[in-house]
C-alpha cells in the first residue's frame, strides 16, 4: 500500500510540477511524512529511487540530494540514541568536550548574532543559566556567524574576514553577558557542527541529559525550562 501511494504521489508531482524549483522541499515533505508514519530506511530510500524514475523532471533532479539527506537524517537518529560526542576550542580559547560534562545537563544552542529569533531567546537562556548553573546546568553555543568567505579569498583575506566576524561574536556575547563557550568557524550555514547535525533553521536547542543523550531538540521558553528541571531531577 505504501509503495502504491508513493507511486501515485510521484506521478502527481511529476505531472503537476515538472519544473518546480522547490521540488526538493516538496518531495522531502512527503518523505518526512512517511518517516513520521514509521517508514523504514529501506522504504524511504526506495521512495527516493522511485522519485528519480521521472527523467527530465524537477522531481528526478531533486531525488539524489533528497536521498542523501534522508540517509543522513536516519544516521543522526541512530547517533541520538548514543551519548553525543562534541569537542572544540571555543572562541575565547576554552576547551569544550561534552564527555567532560557527563553528569550535567547541557543545552547546545545553534544560533547566530544575525538571527532575530535567536536574540529573542537569549534572556530566557540567561535566566536558565543563572538559576540552574549551580545545580548542574551548562550551555554551549554553536554560532553560525557569517564571515562571508569566498573561494577566491587569499589566505590573508580569509584571516581578515574571520577575525572581523569573530570579533562581532565576542563583542555581542560580552555586551549581552553570555558567559558560556561559543564555537565559531565563520562558515555561516555551512558551520561544520551545524552541518553535521543537519541544522537547517535556528535557533535549534539540543538539550543533553546527564547520560550524554539528546532529550529534546525543539523546546524553547517555558517548555525548555520544564525540560531542564526534569533532567536535573528538580
pLDDT tens profile 182-195: 999 999 999 999 98
Q: Which of 158-172, 177-191, 209-223 has the lowest mean pLDDT?
A: 209-223
Residues 6+ apart with CB under 8 A from 216: 205, 206, 207, 227
Query: Which domains are present in the chain?
Result: 2-79 (no CATH), 87-232 (3.40.30.10)
Backbone angles phi, psi at 101, to 5 degrees: -105, 10
Specify the pTM: 0.72
pLDDT at 28: 79
Averaged over 196-213, what is the pLDDT? 90
pLDDT at 4: 60
Averaged over 149-174, what is the pLDDT? 95
Is residue 2 very low, low, confident or very high in pLDDT (cuts 50, 70, 90)?
Answer: low
State the number of CA atoms in the 13 A half-sphere of 56 facing the CB: 1
pLDDT tens profile 89-112: 999 999 999 999 999 999 999 999
Give the closest residue to 34 by CA, choosing from 75, 64, 79, 74: 74
Contact 105, 213 (CB under 8 A): no
Amino acid at each position: 500500500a505504501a509503495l502504491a501511494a508513493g507511486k501515485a504521489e510521484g506521478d502527481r508531482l511529476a505531472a503537476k510540477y515538472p519544473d518546480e524549483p522547490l521540488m526538493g522541499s516538496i518531495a522531502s515533505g512527503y518523505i518526512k511524512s512517511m518517516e513520521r508514519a514509521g517508514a523504514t530506511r529501506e522504504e524511504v530510500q526506495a521512495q527516493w529511487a522511485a522519485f528519480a524514475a521521472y527523467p527530465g523532471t524537477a522531481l528526478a533532479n531533486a531525488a539524489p540530494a533528497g536521498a542523501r539527506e534522508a540517509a543522513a537524517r536516519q544516521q543522526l537518529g541512530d547517533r541520538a540514541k548514543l551519548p553525543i560526542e562534541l569537542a572544540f576550542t571555543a572562541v575565547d580559547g576554552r576547551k569544550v568536550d561534552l564527555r567532560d560534562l557527563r553528569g550535567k545537563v547541557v543545552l547546545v544552542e545553534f544560533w547566530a548574532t544575525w538571527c532575530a529569533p535567536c536574540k529573542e531567546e537569549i534572556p530566557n537562556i540567561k535566566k536558565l543559566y543563572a538559576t540552574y548553573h549551580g545545580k548542574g546546568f551548562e550551555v554551549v553555543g554553536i554560532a553560525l556567524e557569517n564571515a562571508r568567505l569566498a573561494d577566491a579569498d587569499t589566505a590573508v583575506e580569509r584571516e581578515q574576514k574571520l577575525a572581523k566576524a569573530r570579533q562581532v561574536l565576542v563583542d555581542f556575547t560580552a555586551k549581552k553577558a553570555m558567559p558560556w563557550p561559543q564555537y565559531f568557524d565563520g562558515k555561516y550555514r555551512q558551520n561544520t557542527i551545524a552541518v553535521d547535525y543537519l541544522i537547517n533553521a535556528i535557533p535549534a536547542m539540543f538539550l543533553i541529559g546527564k547520560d550524554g543523550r539528546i532529550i529534546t531538540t525543539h523546546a524553547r521558553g517555558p517548555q525548555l525550562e520544564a525540560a531542564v528541571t526534569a533532567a536535573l531531577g528538580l
